[in-house]
Structure 1
């Protein structure tokens, strides 16, 4: 008969002859125990081939090291990049990030909140779905768990961190008007407050320049932005229904679809001789530099949004008290000039 496999820290402490509190202290922070004790524990770990269930240990703490992250659509490289950066910041700070995607669906967002609550998180970073969210369910979660929201600005959580859409849209509208024909605005039904603010910002910016806003409203609610940009772009081009040869898209994913539509319809996109139209977007999506032609856009400051979101969350967690009022931090966008406009 072989030796019985050690399964718990109590069994490991007993077998190695080291007190349970010391073993626990080691697994929480190896540097916190004396070097001679650390060597004994590490020899015993190798001898007994024991690896503790750190997740279970974490759950037994009054304040866990779990940090919840919820994004609306992880297949979107924008949210994938934001989630990657947040995970890295949390790991570097000694926390255990737990990532959920709502997949664009209200019930899945609710399920993610309920599952996350059961894991007793120390805090959470949430980009709500927006119009599809059950805001009461999200608000109830934020009342129990320190929460910072990012990207989608809803009246929930103690802190919101995101982009200044009025500044960024104004910036690119001004550039497009100065360098050519005033842009029309190509959008899908808004899925979150960003889309609605960008439409309002476009109208304001165009009117300030003495021009007439032209909004192209296409598609249905959803997250298949590229497909809508392609299908509706081909239709609008073939029916000659674009009110301007300069098109500002509500986000880069729609613009990527529109670029594909122009290519399939035999139109050259860009500035200069031989170009039939200009296309611009918003966000500086991770793929926007690799389109053909490369997409002119306005960048969101990914690093600043992520760093500030995580820092604000840690401040709330460590203070142990609620803030008197909700705080908003908005970062300005930067014009990214590429070949498409």
Structure 2
């Protein structure tokens, strides 16, 4: 789909069938049906005096952008489960839909908060004096971001690290031990959004407590494997929301595993593509959306309206060049179709061509 419809690109010198999903296909088919012109020699027909065609256009130098629109689902990305790893009773839980940031409580056990730390490595042992490793570095980095100082973020739990931990525990109203157990904190790679509570207040503080997601709005697309070549990580996309508004997005990931689904008699093989979007004020947790991706972009090319193309009896395509009161036919090489135009070679910039109605 182009900015005006669904399109794609056709390889050079390809038959008409290769253009099946371009926006110009209908116009091209009409042009083919309207004229099949033959001429010999080097590909330029003799001039013919006649009535000037009713519609004309100039060969212009431009940028063509081909796009494709696919269905997607707006949400918050993958869900993960926060699991309690201590004894006691759940005494506080956040509201579903709430956002939790670094240092704030994810839930409470026996009135003691379990704060959120940012990182990708879960804590698996007691952190205390003399311990070294990536988990210590994670703790130190978070303490530093929370405003505690006097220690180095170097992955070594020293007396200075212990003092910072003690200050942190005191500020949270916890028992001041100077050590950190795996069940004392929740680790996630950033801010989290509470998707669903898995335990009620008063339940035991072990096992799944709640399901959460990230806070970045994300669109999931089940992309047909035939279109996999159109997308790559980092490319821009436009997302149309249910109310008709559009927002900018970026391809976050392109799946490597193909999935086959069957609906009635139809079977589709797709890969999962994720598109991140920001700045949304749209209220839905999930909603169907249209995602438009730029599949190809050609800069500084010569182009004419698709309707100017004619099928030549000898094969290939041409255009009718208008020169004053006379016209002639010129063979052209066809490139990309987009925006109702087609890239051509064989006719100079500024030439006038007929556009049959």
Q: TM-score, normalised by structure 1?
A: 0.25
Larger Rg: 2
- The structure carrying a bigger strand percent of its residues is 2
Q: TM-score, normalised by structure 2?
A: 0.24
Higher RCO structure, 1 or 2 (CA under 8 Å, sep 6+): 2
